[in-house]
């Protein structure tokens, strides 16, 4: 049995976990799967969200799987492959994971083990592309240039002109990847997976989805650039505190003030909003999503950014 491996990369807040949850929710992954989850920060958020899906999750913390914890990552992959208890491995690197290095590791194992690198995806938030690619080009450029498919998220929040500019700039970095601009809510999980296996297409929100030949091809070259994610820090807490939704929205509006909080690029978590109800939240500077969730044993909040004022974060939360 050949084990299929899918990599879902993307910068902080691009929607990697949302995409994986969508595919699992819609039973696209009908076979037994194992998820390797690599989070940036001390408070695990995504792993906790995904545990309810009754899939095997291997969490690798305290470092990035493409550099500081690469040995743990490689050994974890080998153990999963050797056990022969799974049919598909999903790899979700941290937001600053270098896709080139992760692909290189999987390709090396592919030489000796019965595995196949199937999907190499980069999720890109179109609303933050200009700002993040200017400030953090090392991570953006690597993820975009080494992806076989680029799934643009939050495309419903921009007009066609802005979307076209982002697509053109991505094409300058990666000439061959499939680029999907259709809002994810307008696509089924099966369609998303199929489009992610397309070869070098630009797939727009208005295209006929059946028109594309869904074959995987990856012939990118890989670089050995230094990986400097020390520019980012994370802050997090586990808390029993109740945060009314109006208070949550006020907090995240204030986090946009870089002079006070530093450059916040991502926040996510799960908290109580009253004595009965819980919510999950996702924040990037241009978007805040709050959705109802089932109760948990404790609230969790994490904030990721550059030059974070952690003392102020302690106060506001």
237-257 pLDDT, tens digit per residue, is 999 999 999 999 999 999 999
* Cα separation, 301 vs 317, whole angstroms: 9
**pLDDT band, very low/low/confident/very high, at 51 (cuts 50, 70, 90):** low
As given in the structure block, the two tokens for residue 187 are 């696509």
User: Nearest CA to 218 among 74, 122, 78?
Assistant: 122
3-211 against 233-316: fold identical: no
* Cα separation, 10 vs 241, whole angstroms: 31
Percent of the chain clearing pLDDT 70 (strictly above)? 84
Q: What is the DSSP string of 216-255?
A: --------------TT-EEEEEEE--B--HHHHHHHHHHT
Q: Higher-confidence residue: 126 or 231?
A: 126
Sign of CA dihedral 163, 168, 174, 180: positive
Kindly report the backbone phi and psi dihedral angles of residue 148, in degrees, each rounded to the nearest multiple of 5, phi listed first. -90, -25
pLDDT digits (tens, 9 = 90+) for 257-279: 999 999 999 999 999 999 999 99
Q: What is the pLDDT of residue 52?
A: 66
* Cα separation, 179 vs 149, whole angstroms: 6
* Cα separation, 177 vs 180, whole angstroms: 10
Q: Answer whether residue 47 shows pLDDT above 70.
A: no
Q: In what order do the strands lie in the sheet with 88-92?
A: 56-60, 33-38, 88-92, 3-10, 115-125, 149-153, 178-180, 202-203
pTM of structure: 0.82
Q: Answer whether residue 198 shows pLDDT above 80.
A: no
3-class state of residue 135 by DSSP: helix
DSSP code at position 2: P
Report, as an integer, the average pLDDT of 175-201.
84
| Angstrom distances, CA of residue 194 to CA of 28, 33, 119, 181, 257 | 10, 18, 10, 14, 40
Q: What is the pLDDT of residue 220?
A: 35
**Domain spans of the chain?**
3-211, 233-316
Q: In what order do the strands lie in the sheet with 287-293?
A: 233-239, 299-306, 263-272, 278-284, 287-293
Tokens 């999980």 identify what position?
A: 189
Q: Is 84 exposed, middle or buried (0-12, 13-18, 19+ CB in 10 A)?
A: exposed
| Angstrom distances, CA of residue 224 to CA of 73, 231, 232 | 18, 19, 21
As given in the structure block, the two tokens for residue 202 are 């630009």
Architecture of domain 3-211: 3-Layer(aba) Sandwich (3.40)
Percent of the chain clearing pLDDT 90 (strictly above)? 56
Question: Using N-to-C axis directions, what is the helix angle for 99-110 and 137-145, rounded to 10°?
Answer: 40
CATH class of 233-316: alpha beta
């Amino acid at each position: 049995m050949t084990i299929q491996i899918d990599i879902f990369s993307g910068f902080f807040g691009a929607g990697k976990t949302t995409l994986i949850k969508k595919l699992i929710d819609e039973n696209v992954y009908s076979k037994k799967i194992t998820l390797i989850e690599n989070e940036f920060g001390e408070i695990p958020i995504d792993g906790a969200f995904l545990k309810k899906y009754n899939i095997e999750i291997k969490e690798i913390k305290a470092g990035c799987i493409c550099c500081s914890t690469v040995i743990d990552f490689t050994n974890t992959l080998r153990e999963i492959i050797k056990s022969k208890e799974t049919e598909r491995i999903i790899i979700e690197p941290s937001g600053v994971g270098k896709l080139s290095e992760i692909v290189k590791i999987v390709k090396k194992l592919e030489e000796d083990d019965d595995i196949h690198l199937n999907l190499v995806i980069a999720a890109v938030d179109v609303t933050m592309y200009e700002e993040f690619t200017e400030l953090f080009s090392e991570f953006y450029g690597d993820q975009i240039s080494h992806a076989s498919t680029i799934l643009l998220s939050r495309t419903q929040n921009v007009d066609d002109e802005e979307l076209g500019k982002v697509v053109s700039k991505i094409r300058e970095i990666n000439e061959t990847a499939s680029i999907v601009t259709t809002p994810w809510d307008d696509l089924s999980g099966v369609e998303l997976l199929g489009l992610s296996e397309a070869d070098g297409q630009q797939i727009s929100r208005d295209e006929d989805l059946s028109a594309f030949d869904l074959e995987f091809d990856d012939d990118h070259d890989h670089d050995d650039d230094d990986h400097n994610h020390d520019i980012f820090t994370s802050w997090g807490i586990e808390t029993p505190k109740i945060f009314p939704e109006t208070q949550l929205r006020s907090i995240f509006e204030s986090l946009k003030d870089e002079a006070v909080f530093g450059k916040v690029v991502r926040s996510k978590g799960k908290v109580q909003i009253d004595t009965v109800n819980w919510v999950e939240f996702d924040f990037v500077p241009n978007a805040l999503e709050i959705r109802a969730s089932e109760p948990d044993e404790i609230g969790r909040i994490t904030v990721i950014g550059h030059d974070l004022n952690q003392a102020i974060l302690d106060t506001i939360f």
